[in-house]
A and B are shown apart, each in its own frame.
Chain A
């Protein structure tokens, strides 16, 4: 696969280019230094394209694309991970996955996390970005500080929050001290609460990224537009609704896309805070947790691969639908900008 991609473009280029260069050389043989140089560079170009792109393509295809293909293959077998898979089970793994109530649970959790992430972080991030986009003192310091949770690794966030949220941890203690002892709760293991706790941690960790992205989007809107609208007597809310939000659209759509993909593959935080077993009883387990628990940790590599394929297909379908209907305009802009 890497070969075709590495050399094909150069080949086709060569066959396209040769006659033209040849013509030029024939018709203008006495003064051909530029044509000759161009032919030399054409021949060299093929080599350069191959040499410059081959390492990246080989690595990318081997470690990103090939595993997905491999998962599709293993997914048809009952296989423990040793030797060649021989126990062909057809679509049985997929039937088991889709029929497993535990998988339906995790699918539901992922769906809830996806929707709640968009609904909580989206409006909040836009509101905060609008607010912080004003000319205020210490703006750069603010930006650094709100980005900190995003910079810290999931392991540290998970370890820290699980210590704070224990039933005898800092959060409950703080609630007691400020007189809200009635709100004390078992944040992590109460099945009615755990998913909301997870949403709070997710929002805390990723809102800074959303705000910074929105701020970047706001800054790319020319000031003249706001000035013109103000001169025309538009109110603050009219300006936000008619100018800011539409022009922020591409940024919002790209952020939402990243958030959706992130929600579908959520793993680290849940695995660190709740672990494979508790996340099941607390109601926070995700597809990736299910894949790890039922696949590698249970020694069922065929089944685990099939779960990977299901996750892959769900992400692919969501991504394609999203791109088809929402990102199309943004992407077309990017692509045309590139070809012109």
Chain B
């Protein structure tokens, strides 16, 4: 509802204001934009951030505070919800599972993706176009569509309720994006560098290890971040594969926790905000890489 009203409001309001902003910019090279720009930017940020803040701040309230006035600030602030979650072994067990799954998946995606992207980008053979198209086609078939038969495959491999049953398919499904981002990166390495390496006696593989990996590091980091976040947030695969609470990752844990303590809203909010914290920290550290990587992907 709010989105539709916003759609109709913003373009119409932008009409009279935006040209004014341009005139300003022509008359004097300004550092501050028009107030209207800041107003819309702030509004947009507010809409994006407010629900997240609600979850985080809600964790500092008590249930009676929440039920008497759902949309208010904590009064007084209580930390017991967060402390209880941080003391619980359930949270840390799920945290560890998420971390293991995300790290191993990321390493697998980066290593295998880099290898196959290198072949597609730097070797000359008949089927390399087909190979690229095969991986590119994988983008069209996300995990949800394949989940039922995928579950059967994993069941046949005996990997149900095993973290490997999440990790291995995640690597497979992470490859398309990796190939699409890394191939242009690897192609962009000038041939002269490869020739120079060859003259210096480096084999193709030596070139791969000594030159390609360092030179493609920005692309690799982008791919790694996307893989990590994708794994950290994955829900549907763990939902199908992991049955016992000891193996749950955080997304499953959040859901289990919120149905188990459905009456204890404050505790659920605390658990939820602690579960999203690692992804947010990870993102704020690597924010430039993510946005930069998207730029590269669009251009490529």
Contact residues in A for B26 (Cβ distance below 8 Å): 230
Tell me whether B145 and A312 are in contact (CB under 8 A).
Answer: yes
Report if B96 contacts A (CB, 8 A).
no
Chain A interface category by residue count: 35 or more
Tell me whether B287 and A67 are in contact (CB under 8 A).
Answer: no
Contact residues in B for A173 (Cβ distance below 8 Å): 69-72
Task: Name the interface residues of A205-228: CB closer than 8 Å to any CB of B.
Answer: 207-208, 212-213, 216-217, 219-220
Contact residues in A for B144 (Cβ distance below 8 Å): 265, 267, 288
Among A56, A170, A172, A292, the most chain B Cβ lie within 10 Å of the Cβ of A56
CB < 8 Å: which of B30, B119, B138, B294 contacts A212? B294
CB < 8 Å: which of B151, B276, B284 contacts A152? B276
Number of A-B contacts defined by CB within 8 Å: 325
Report if A97 contacts B (CB, 8 A).
no
Tell me whether B235 and A154 are in contact (CB under 8 A).
Answer: yes
Contact status of A197 and B1, CB under 8 A, knowing A12-B125, A145-B48, A219-B295: yes
Q: How far is the CB of A48 from chain B (nearest CB, A)?
A: 6
Q: How far is the CB of B131 from chain A (nearest CB, A)?
A: 7
Tell me whether B70 and A152 are in contact (CB under 8 A).
Answer: no
Tell me whether B33 and A136 are in contact (CB under 8 A).
Answer: yes
Tell me whether B134 and A48 are in contact (CB under 8 A).
Answer: no
Contact status of A74 and B298, CB under 8 A, knowing A155-B251, A155-B255, A159-B272: no
Main secondary structure of the interface of A (DSSP, over half): helix
Contact residues in A for B45 (Cβ distance below 8 Å): 142, 145-146
**What residues of chain B have their CB less than 8 Å away from a CB belonging to chain A?**
1-4, 6-7, 10-11, 14, 18-19, 21-22, 25-26, 30-33, 37-38, 40-41, 44-45, 47-49, 51-52, 54-55, 58, 67, 69-72, 112-113, 115-116, 118-120, 123-132, 134-135, 138-142, 144-153, 168-169, 171-173, 175-176, 183-184, 187, 203-205, 229, 232-236, 240, 250-252, 254-255, 258, 265, 268-269, 272, 275-276, 279-280, 283-284, 287-288, 290-291, 294-295, 298-300
**What residues of chain A have their CB less than 8 Å away from a CB belonging to chain B?**
5, 8-10, 12-13, 41, 44-45, 48-49, 52-53, 55-57, 59-60, 62-68, 70-71, 74, 81, 119-120, 123-124, 127-128, 130-132, 134-137, 140, 142-149, 151-156, 159-161, 163-164, 168-174, 177, 193, 196-197, 199-200, 203-204, 207-208, 212-213, 216-217, 219-220, 230, 235-237, 250-251, 254, 261-262, 265, 267-268, 272, 288, 291-292, 295-296, 301, 304-305, 307-308, 311-312, 315-316, 319, 334-335, 337-339
9 CB < 8 A contacts A-B:
A64-B146, A66-B153, A134-B37, A146-B45, A149-B52, A153-B235, A160-B52, A267-B144, A311-B145
